[in-house]
Amino acid sequence: MRLLTIETATPLETVALVEGREVLGCRTARAGRGRSDQLMALVDRTLADTSVGLTDLDGIVVSIGPGRFTGLRVGLATAKGLAASTGLPVFPVATLEALALTVTDRGLDETAFVAPMLDARRGEVYAALFDGARGPDRITDDVAADPVAFSREAARRAAGRPVLFAGTGALLYRQQIESAVSGPALSVDADIERPDPSTMAALAERGSLDGVSELSSLRPVYLRGV
């Protein structure tokens, strides 16, 4: 499938064209002040870079959160607008699940648990725990939590197995996490801050190939009030 991916849950907005697991083109920009025109410019440039038109796509993949409130709204609105004008299906992807798959795709430690974390501000992270040896398989729901408390709970559930922390939240609170968690806990390299477009496309293809037909049913995942 040839898919356009839109990721706006983190401060670095990313649009990519993915076919299979190959990223054919990718554009990024620091998030503006909730500007949909900036995101559409990334879409236009990505398609122009690859000489692909909207009618050549099989669908649109969009990260639905948790993450930045404004970014999620703009990203989902853009995906819905493109789908409404073209008839393309939209594939909503859970941001933390896509980030967990990005980590396991790197093959860092096949026995490890994965704890994706995104900065939620207010001294919290958006986080979840996955078993990297099985998929990854989800162990906990997405939560907004204190990073140290969540790290300790992740280590408890891992029961001696390594825990790989990834994402903007893990990087921001890296020292606190490493001080709080004893045992074989690891922080992931700084280049894994957000979901990779190829993993977003892979998750979309694992789900319903028809995508979401009722656009009004699509909602961002905020976890807490704006």
CA distance linking residue 151 with residue 145, whole number of Å: 10
Cβ–Cβ under 8 Å, residues 29 and 13:
yes
CA distance linking residue 75 with residue 86, whole number of Å: 17
- The residues spanned by each domain of the chain are 2-94+195-217, 107-187
CATH number given to 107-187? 3.30.420.40
Cβ–Cβ under 8 Å, residues 62 and 94:
no
pLDDT of residue 211: 63
Cβ–Cβ under 8 Å, residues 105 and 199:
yes
107-187 has the same fold as 2-94+195-217: yes
pTM of this structure: 0.92
Decide if domain 2-94+195-217 falls under CATH 3.40.50.300: no
Q: What angle do CA 146, 67, 133 make, to 5 degrees?
A: 75
Question: Could you read off the pLDDT tens digit of each residue along the chain, which spans 226 residues?
Answer: 999 999 999 989 999 999 988 999 999 999 876 678 889 999 999 999 999 999 999 999 999 999 999 999 999 999 999 999 999 999 999 999 999 999 988 877 778 899 999 999 999 999 999 998 877 899 999 999 999 999 999 999 998 888 999 999 999 999 899 888 876 677 766 678 889 999 999 998 887 545 665 677 788 998 875 4
In tens, the pLDDT along 143-169 reads 999 999 999 999 999 988 889 999 999
Q: Cα 127 vs. chain centroid, distance in angstroms?
A: 11
CA distance linking residue 18 with residue 31, whole number of Å: 22
Range list of H helices, the chain? 36-50, 69-86, 95-105, 147-158, 168-172, 174-180, 197-206
CB atoms within 10 A of CB 105: 15
DSSP character at residue 56: G
Residues paired with residue 40 on neighbouring β-strands, in sequence order: none
CA distance linking residue 64 with residue 56, whole number of Å: 24
Q: What distances in angstroms separate CA 179 from CA 126, 152, 171, 175, 183, one per listed residue? A: 20, 10, 14, 6, 11
